[in-house]
Structure 1
Amino acid sequence: MEFIYCFSVHLVFVMWIVFSSPEVTAQSLPESSKVSVRQLDALLQDYTYRSFVRLVHPKTGRLYNAPVPANLSTIKLTAMRLRSGSLRSKGVHGYNEFEIPDGIIAKPYVLRLILVFQNLGNLSSFYYGLQGYRFLAPVLGLLAYDATNLSATGLPELDITLSKGPISIQFRDVETAPSGSTPKCVWFDLDALPQFSDLESSNVCSTSHQGHFSIVVESTAPAPAPVAPPSPVPAGPNLSPGHGKNKSKAWKIAVPVVGGFILLVLFVMLLVWLIRYRQNKKMAEMERQADIGEALQMTSIGHTRAPVAMGTRTPPSLENEYVP
């Protein structure tokens, strides 16, 4: 019994380790369905704010790199926290590919805001694919959010108004346009609706809005369909695509462990029942043996019958029976 009890305790401990393992409980990234650009923006906003929360004293006006999920590792994500008054009076010079002039007004008014920069890299055509067009440069995003609560998720973008001049975008990685084609600037609004405009120069576009931007050219042949990456889901920064497999393996281990534990419990219950059955049988045998012993004679005492022991006559003898 002591061995079975110890084994049961160890088995329960092993099961607790299996089910409480981070690889089992961590949320895995789904591997199907293309998410909307609004979901992608919300996810990247969440990761951006997480990077600020981890900082002890994030400085205003400094550029910070933010982590992204492992399956979106080709996306570059940076952010800068600014005072609304400073952004309006000074602008931001040299914010990656963006040159932001002064005179920018954010509505509704907030004391501080965060400018989130996105470079979608080779995932540009996946999230912002255009029928009949090919990207010559990666899609770049610039979005403004309220920085009052750095733990907030799913924040709406602030409205941006330019009162003095447009924002200039100087693309760094631009492919050469095919001979005879005319590259164009494309701006995607917050709902991914495109609008086209002419380039300021070979690799420079301008805009009066926030959103996503790139340089495209009309395609003469159908472009190959982009390979869909795993759909991102808001989760902890340490998630990776292998978590789903780890969870499946954990369940394969857990099922036989649970089955074995149930069988062990049933075996212990059966053993306890057998022990009690033998004890009860032994007691019944002892009582039976006691009943088989010598029966006593019964006699009446008043209105009650009671057992009495049989008497033995002892012949009397004199102390001095033999007299000389």
Structure 2
Amino acid sequence: MGLPGSLAMLVALLALSLLLWLPGLMAQPANPALGLDALLQDYAYRAFVRPRTGVPYEAVVPANLTGIKVSAMRLRTGSLRRKGVPMYNEFMIPPGVVAAPYVERLVFVYQNLGNWSSTYYPLQGYTHLTPVLGLLAYDASNLSATNLPELDVRAYGDPIRIKFLNVALNPDGPAPKCVSFDLHGLPSFSNASDNVCSTVVQGHFSIVVESIAPSPAPVSPIPPTPAAPRAKKKNKSKVWIVVGSVLGGSLLLVLLLFLILWVHKLKQRKKMQQMERAAEVGEALKMTPVGETKAPAATVTRTQPTLENEYVP
């Protein structure tokens, strides 16, 4: 392999290393709720001993998750689309709900996170008035499978309704709101009507109210203290660190390539100089006196002289 091939391989290796290293810097801390969904899916599927279609089965969670309720119900996708599910705990699923990609049967896993709601789905500036309820759909072809991806379930007719029970309302406080969390934990808000929330997709849902900070007690003025850095500033600093690292790595890569090319040209130049010196020096000839001067003379000639008349017949 010549030098161009070696350079190409080196560039490819450095680029691959940079690509593998960059996502680690860009990656944010994993959402703990995603790990909880995978764990609860596993325990929900264990509840299917002799499963019957359309019957909910309560799951048993480990002791370290006491307070969380989980159940599972297997359905045919065709029946779900035509008939829906009139009532599955707090969820009312109308006809017209479709799952993608297509599977013959699916499992609805119901979650009630109880006192773990604020732990896995915290909302700054809001207070949960109800536990977080989850409804997720999975493929039912293998009831022993774990770490299954969620199906994309959507209501193309009437929305799915969630009827919350035992909502702790504050009559003098702000109006409660529905909050839904998508599969990545991102919240979106809507108005609550009679403790009922609506959705057209699966996810996690709760009723929340905006928190009212208590009025601070009067205190004597004190010198201002440096404010704690905010999350945005931290995120900005992380972004700049990532950008600086990428630019620095690219600059080092370019400098390394220039260094390799310079060394290669230097070696070629030295080789050419050696060849030129060898050509100029050649083979040293002996000096022979001719009269009062000296002239170079070869000791041996390659071809002996031949008289022309030797070839005349």
TM-score grouping bracket, smaller chain normalisation: 0.5 to 0.7
Tell me, yes or no, if structure 1 residue 80 matches structure 2 residue 66.
no
Alignment of 1:249-268 (within 5 A): none
Matched with 1:108 is 101
Q: For residue 210 of structure 2, what is the amino acid of its counterpart?
A: E
Q: Return the offset for 1:180.
A: 3.7
SS of corresponding position for 2:208: strand
Matched with 2:44 is 48
Q: CA, structure 1 residues 46+198, in 2 after alignment: closer, same or farther (shift >3 Å)?
A: same
Deviations 1:237-289 (A, max 9, x none): xxxxxxxxxxxxxxxxxxxxxxxxxxxxxxxxxxxxxxxxxxxxxxxxxxxxx
TM-score by length of 1: 0.56
Residue 136 of structure 1 contacts residue 177 of structure 1 at CA under 8 Å; is this kept in 2?
Answer: no
Aligned residues: 186
Matched with 1:70 is 63
Q: For residue 82 of structure 2, what is the amino acid of its counterpart?
A: S
Q: CA, structure 1 residues 141+85, in 2 after alignment: closer, same or farther (shift >3 Å)?
A: same
* CA distance in structure 2 between the partners assigned to 1:135 and 1:38 by the alignment: 20
Deviations 1:123-142 (A, max 9, x none): 10010010000001110000
Greater RCO, 1 or 2 (C-alpha within 8 Å, sep 6+): 1
Tell me, yes or no, if structure 1 residue 96 matches structure 2 residue 89.
yes
1:164 counterpart (157, 172, 176): 157
Matched with 2:35 is 39
- Rg comparison, structure with higher value: 1
SS of corresponding position for 1:123: helix
* CA distance in structure 2 between the partners assigned to 1:34 and 1:187 by the alignment: 19
TM-score by length of 2: 0.58
Deviations 1:72-116 (A, max 9, x none): 120010110000001000000110000000011100000100000
Q: For residue 208 of structure 2, what is the amino acid of its counterpart?
A: V
* CA distance in structure 2 between the partners assigned to 1:48 and 1:106 by the alignment: 19
Deviations 1:192-223 (A, max 9, x none): 10000011x2211111110000000000138x
Residue 55 of structure 2 contacts residue 73 of structure 2 at CA under 8 Å; is this kept in 1?
Answer: yes
Q: Return the offset for 1:177.
A: 2.6
Residue 54 of structure 2 contacts residue 75 of structure 2 at CA under 8 Å; is this kept in 1?
Answer: yes
Matched with 1:183 is 176
* CA distance in structure 2 between the partners assigned to 1:180 and 1:120 by the alignment: 25
* CA distance in structure 1 between the partners assigned to 2:94 and 2:182 by the alignment: 20
Matched with 1:131 is 124
Give the RMSD, CA atoms, in angstroms. Answer: 1.6
* CA distance in structure 2 between the partners assigned to 1:217 and 1:170 by the alignment: 17
Residue 138 of structure 1 contacts residue 173 of structure 1 at CA under 8 Å; is this kept in 2?
Answer: no
Matched with 1:12 is none
* CA distance in structure 1 between the partners assigned to 2:205 and 2:113 by the alignment: 10
1:208 counterpart (200, 203, 208): 200
* CA distance in structure 1 between the partners assigned to 2:194 and 2:208 by the alignment: 12
Identical-residue share of aligned pairs (%): 64
Q: For residue 45 of structure 2, what is the amino acid of its counterpart?
A: Y
Q: Return the offset for 1:176.
A: 1.1
Residue 185 of structure 1 contacts residue 216 of structure 1 at CA under 8 Å; is this kept in 2?
Answer: yes
Q: For residue 119 of structure 1, what is the amino acid of its counterpart?
A: N
Matched with 1:269 is none
* CA distance in structure 2 between the partners assigned to 1:220 and 1:178 by the alignment: 14
Q: For residue 211 of structure 2, what is the amino acid of its counterpart?
A: S
SS of corresponding position for 2:47: helix
Deviations 1:10-48 (A, max 9, x none): xxxxxxxxxxxxxxxxxxxxxxx9971100000000111
Q: Structure 2: which 5+ residue stretches go unaligned? A: 1-28, 215-313
